Chain A
Amino acid sequence: DTAVSQTPKYLVTQMGNDKSIKCEQNLGHDTMYWYKQDSKKFLKIMFSYNNKELIINETVPNRFSPKSPDKAHLNLHINSLELGDSAVYFCASSQVTGDGYTFGSGTRLTVV
């Protein structure tokens, strides 16, 4: 009964390819997030959706496009992958911000 599940867990791909990462939460939370964690463990928010509506859109290359078909799903599509996109991408969800986030286990993306 994984609360926030991401697929795939590992993704190795060549530069220039397009890839997607999927995220699903079964907690009934209204808000979902994508964070990027770099090799130095620094976490940076990318996007946030509240009930399918985009509410946070940080300075991220427009090669990254989130999509939320319903409030339980938030996917991340990346076009024209670059070496610098290599990182761990975390999905998270929350009901009320003060409750904190529930994180997925991450997707390790390696661009070669």
Chain B
Amino acid sequence: AQSVTQLGSHVSVSEGALVLLRCNYSSSVPPYLFWYVQYPNQGLQLLLKYTTGATLVKGINGFEAEFKKSETSFHLTKPSAHMSDAAEYFCAVSDPSGGYQKVTFGTGTKLQVIP
């Protein structure tokens, strides 16, 4: 069964510092990979995705992620944190065995940005 692990339920960074949120997946076949952001009392919003092709993907709000097959990772980064980045971030994978229909979410990482 597909699974995804997010290391660190809480991450704190200073404003202007690098943001690194970690995500590892388990799959013998490369899945589709996603990062979502959830602001308080809102639904999830797609930040970026990897399906095939270029392994470095860029998303909205200056975020990017790199798919590393050898490390089964899809870490999310942003060079310079902004106060508005404070939110919950979810990594997600879709299961190739099920025709990519089923998406499994990680447990989330809450990002705190310190002024």
Name A residues whose Cβ lies closer than 8 Å to a Cβ of B. 4, 31, 35, 40-45, 48, 50, 55-56, 90, 92, 97-106
Q: Select the stretch in B14-22, B69-77, B102-110 that faces chain A.
A: B102-110
Task: Across the interface, name the chain A residue whose C-beta is closest to B100.
Answer: A97
| B43/A48 in contact, CB under 8 A | no
| A99/B42 in contact, CB under 8 A | no
| A105/B101 in contact, CB under 8 A | no
Which listed residue (B38, B43, B100) contacts A98, Cβ 8 A?
B100
Question: A residues within 8 A CB of B45?
Answer: 103
Task: Across the interface, name the chain B residue whose C-beta is closest to A40.
Answer: B107
Interface residues as binary, B17-29 with A (CB distance below 8 Å gives 1, 0 otherwise): 0000000000000
| A105/B42 in contact, CB under 8 A | yes
Interface of A is mostly: strand
Question: B residues within 8 A CB of A104?
Answer: 43
| A90/B102 in contact, CB under 8 A | no
Interface of B is mostly: strand
Name B residues whose Cβ lies closer than 8 Å to a Cβ of A. 32, 34, 36, 38, 41-46, 49, 51, 88, 90, 94, 99-105, 107-108
Name 12 extra pairs, CB < 8 A, besides A50-B101, A97-B101.
Answer: A42-B105, A42-B108, A43-B44, A44-B105, A45-B103, A48-B101, A55-B101, A97-B99, A97-B100, A98-B100, A101-B46, A105-B43
Question: B residues within 8 A CB of A102?
Answer: 46
Task: Across the interface, name the chain B residue whose C-beta is closest to A56.
Answer: B102
Question: A residues within 8 A CB of B46?
Answer: 100-102
